[in-house]
Amino acid sequence: MPTILARYSEIGLKSTPVRVRFENRLRDNIITMLAADRIEALVTRKDARFYIETEDIDGAAAAMKRVFGIASFSITEVCSSDLGAICSAAAEYSMGRLKEGDTFAVKARREGSHNYTSVDVGREAGSAIFIANESKGVKVNLTNPAVTFYIEVRNNKAFVFGSSIRCHGGLPIGTQGKVLADVRSERDLISAWLMMKRGCKVIVRGEKQPLLERYDPELKYGEEVSPEILGIVSGAALSELEGLMSGPDIPIFFPTVGMSDGEVSSLLKTIKEEVAPPGWTGQ
C-alpha cells in the first residue's frame, strides 16, 4: 500500500519541548482534516516525519495540502531497509516511469544505523533500475536527468518516490493563540487565512466562510472580544490604516497591508484551485 511521507520545516527549528508540542498538534490537525474528508487513515510520527497509510491515497493527498505546518509530502512505496529489498522496490517502481531513451538519477538519504551509506544506496538502486529498464535504452545522468528517483531510508524502512508536493508550510493551527477576524471582503478572507498559516486559531466575525472551513474544519464564529483573544485581524490596505489605528485597546493585525489587490485576488484564486474538491464552488 502506498504511504504518504510528510515533512515539516519551521517546527524543526524549535527547542525539543516546543517541537514535540507542535508535532503533537500537527498530528491532531492531520487527523482532524482527514476525518473531515471522511478518509480512514493511520497517522504515525517518527523522526521528524509523519506517515499516513490509507486506501484513499488521492483523497488523503488532497487533504494534506490544507494542513498548515506541512511543508511537503511524497506518495511513496515502502519496503524494508535491507539493501536488496530497496533495489528490488526501486526497480519495480521505475518500470512504469521511464520511457524509451530516458535519462535518470537516484538521490538517496539515510537516517539510522545501517551497514551501507547513502552513496551505496544510490549506486546499487541505480544499477537495479538500469538493468530493469535496459531494453528501453535508458542512461544514467546525474546532472540533468529526465527522471529522478528518491529514496529515504529511515531506520528499518525505506521509502521510494519520484516527486514531492509542496504545501503551504507555516505552523500548525492552534499553536499561536486565538485571534478574531472580521471577514467581509476578499482581503479580509486572505488576512484570516494568513493568520491561520502562522498557527493562529481564527474566530470569524461575520458570515460563514466555507473556504476557511476547508483549512480548519473546526472553525469557530463569534462577535465578542474575550480576554483570550490576542488581537483582531483586518484586511485593511495601507491607504485605510489611519482611521483604524485609534481602534479598541487590543492589537490589530494587518497581514495583507503590503499586498496589492491584484496579489490578494491571485492568492485567493490559487487557494481555491489547489484545495477545492471536484464540484466544489466555495458556497
Whether the per-residue pLDDT at 227 is higher than 90: the answer is no
Q: Who wins on pLDDT, 223 or 264? A: 264
Backbone angles phi and psi of 225, in degrees to 5: -95, 90
Q: Is the overall model pTM greater than 0.85, yes or no?
A: yes
pLDDT tens per residue across span 133-156 = 999 999 999 999 999 999 999 989
Q: Who wins on pLDDT, 118 or 250? A: 118
CA–CA distance, 240 with 278 (Å, rounded to integer): 37
pLDDT tens per residue across span 21-65 = 999 999 999 999 999 999 999 999 988 899 999 999 999 999 999
Average pLDDT, the chain: 90
CA–CA distance, 214 with 192 (Å, rounded to integer): 13
Whether the per-residue pLDDT at 278 is higher than 90: the answer is no
pLDDT at residue 275, rounded to an integer: 66
In order of their start, the domains of the chain are: 3-78 (3.30.70.1510), 82-155 (3.30.2130.30), 178-275 (3.40.50.620)
pLDDT at residue 127, rounded to an integer: 96
pLDDT tens per residue across span 152-170 = 999 899 999 999 999 999 9
- Average pLDDT estimate for 181-195: 93
Q: What percent of the chain has pLDDT over 70?
A: 93
Confidence of residue 242 (pLDDT cuts 50, 70, 90): low
Whether the per-residue pLDDT at 123 is higher than 80: the answer is yes
CA–CA distance, 134 with 206 (Å, rounded to integer): 62
CA–CA distance, 6 with 65 (Å, rounded to integer): 10
CA–CA distance, 212 with 185 (Å, rounded to integer): 13
- Per-residue exposure over 94-118, b if at least 16 CB sit within 10 Å of its own CB, e if not: beeebeeebbbbbbbebeeebebeb
